[in-house]
Amino acid sequence: MIISGVQQALDCAAHLLLDAGDPVWMEEPGYPGAAVVFRAVGAKICPVPVDSEGLNLEAGQRRWPRQRPRLIYVTPAHQFPLGVTMSLRRRLSLLEWARRSKTIIFEDDYDSEYRYSGRPIPALQGLDRAAVVIFAGSFTDVLFPALRLAYLVVPSDVVDIFAAAESVSTHHPPLIDQAILCDFISEGHFARHVRRMRELYAERLSVLIELAGERLTGLLEIPAVEAGLRTVCWLQGGILAERAARAAAKYDVEVVPLERYAYGRAKRNGLMLGFAAVDARELRRGVEQLARALEEIRQPLKTPADRL
Ligand SMILES: Cc1ncc(COP(=O)(O)O)c(C=O)c1O
């Protein structure tokens, strides 16, 4: 199905598949745009931690032993916001468990086109033999957000109810925009655009990493970035994320504390930094300003005399 954004797909899935009180597993930290939709239909958000392989299925089973989720929302290609790629092993376990427990998986593939390193792993939807996966991809990050076009692959037994819901709500996303996008893809412009942008964003990422090495060491650490338009980074030296964001805003740099993406108590002290939308000059200015902001609020290093 062609739809008006992943947001509409989430809203549609929530209304069609969830009843008030139904448990929904969400990655912790995770995408607030999904949580808000599930909460709006009265579902119960069950946060599940994310480790280096993506959503930690076993931790979820331990944390929510008596509540089989009705739906699991995941971003396996590039976890939002931590950037982890779900391993093949975890994907297969998740699919098998969803099949056995009759749970639906909502796979949000919002920005998988921008991968700079590491091999892409097949989507859950492509590995699914039990028709338990709803797959959503978007043109928001890969083209532009104002387009409001996305696509949805749903299991065949729910195609009719999704199509009916679409026809009684929006009917369809604007057909002229769809036709133009269709030509854009079939004439090869889309593939060229993705290739060009991937190179440009990879270049900007390497500029960010180089500048961070020069100017942010001891203040902020950027982990290896495999994909996406933004990255998580970890604050050093006892600097707290909310304080860092306020200090950075005074220097006209926008960073988002990671804790804003947490639902439960597991708050991690990190920031989200965008790098794809800014050129090298702006990146240099941003890193310099951010460094100044963080230096201002960093705890002064203890001198030997202080320790006595
Ligand atoms: C995790 C996640 N899902 C989905 C989207 C895109 O949603 P939509 O297609 O409604 O613009 C975004 C946008 O950045 C996102 O970060």
Task: Output the domain CATH number for residue 9.
Answer: 3.40.640.10
Pairing of strands 104-109, 133-138: parallel
The Cα 61–Cα 188 span in angstroms is 45
Of 97, 123, 117, 139, the closest CA to residue 2 belongs to 139
- Tell me: do 272 and 170 sit in the same domain: no
- Tell me: do 142 and 225 sit in the same domain: no
Q: Which of 152, 186, 220 is the last residue of a domain?
A: 186
Q: Ligand 1, closest atom to CA 80?
A: 1
Write out the residue range of the structural domain in which residue 226 sits: 191-298
- Tell me: do 115 and 198 sit in the same domain: no
Interval between CA 258 and ligand 1 midpoint (Å):
17
Within 10 A of 148 (CB to CB), how many other CB atoms are there? 17
Structural domain includes residue 305: no
- Tell me: do 163 and 35 sit in the same domain: yes
- Tell me: do 82 and 228 sit in the same domain: no
- Tell me: do 162 and 104 sit in the same domain: yes
- Tell me: do 195 and 118 sit in the same domain: no
Give the per-residue pLDDT at 118.
Answer: 83
Of all protein residues, the one whose alpha carbon is nearest to atom 5 of ligand 1 is 110
Of 232, 3, 265, the closest CA to residue 108 belongs to 3
Of all protein residues, the one whose alpha carbon is nearest to atom 14 of ligand 1 is 141
- Tell me: do 109 and 216 sit in the same domain: no
- Note whether 302 and 237 are within 8 A (CB): no
Interval between CA 307 and ligand 1 midpoint (Å):
49
Structural domain includes residue 306: no
Of all protein residues, the one whose alpha carbon is nearest to atom 15 of ligand 1 is 110
Q: Ligand 1, closest atom to CA 108?
A: 3
Give the per-residue pLDDT at 181.
Answer: 98
Binding-site residues, ligand 1, Cβ < 6 A = 5-7, 31, 75, 80, 108, 110, 138, 140-141, 145, 150
pTM for this prediction: 0.94
Give the per-residue pLDDT at 263.
Answer: 82
DSSP assignment of 41-96 equals TTPEEEEEEEETTEE-HHHHHHHSTT---SEEEE-TTS-TTT-PPPPHHHHHHHHH
Q: Which of 80, 107, 144, 256 to mutate to test the pocket of ligand 1 (most atoms within 8 A of CB)?
A: 80
- Tell me: do 154 and 294 sit in the same domain: no
Give the per-residue pLDDT at 300.
Answer: 67
The Cα 4–Cα 152 span in angstroms is 10
The Cα 172–Cα 161 span in angstroms is 15
Mean pLDDT by 10 residues, the chain (308 residues): 96 97 97 97 96 96 92 97 96 97 96 88 96 97 95 96 93 96 98 97 97 96 94 94 97 96 80 96 97 89 57
Structural domain includes residue 291: yes
Give the per-residue pLDDT at 306.
Answer: 54
CATH number at residue 268: 3.90.1150.10
Token pair belonging to 145: 């957000």
Structural domain includes residue 250: yes
- Tell me: do 163 and 82 sit in the same domain: yes
- Tell me: do 156 and 202 sit in the same domain: no
Structural domain includes residue 308: no
Structural domain includes residue 138: yes
- Tell me: do 171 and 272 sit in the same domain: no
Q: Which of 159, 186, 213 is the last residue of a domain?
A: 186
Q: Which of 134, 158, 186 is the last residue of a domain?
A: 186
If one counts the domains in the chain, the total is: 2
Interval between CA 297 and ligand 1 midpoint (Å):
33
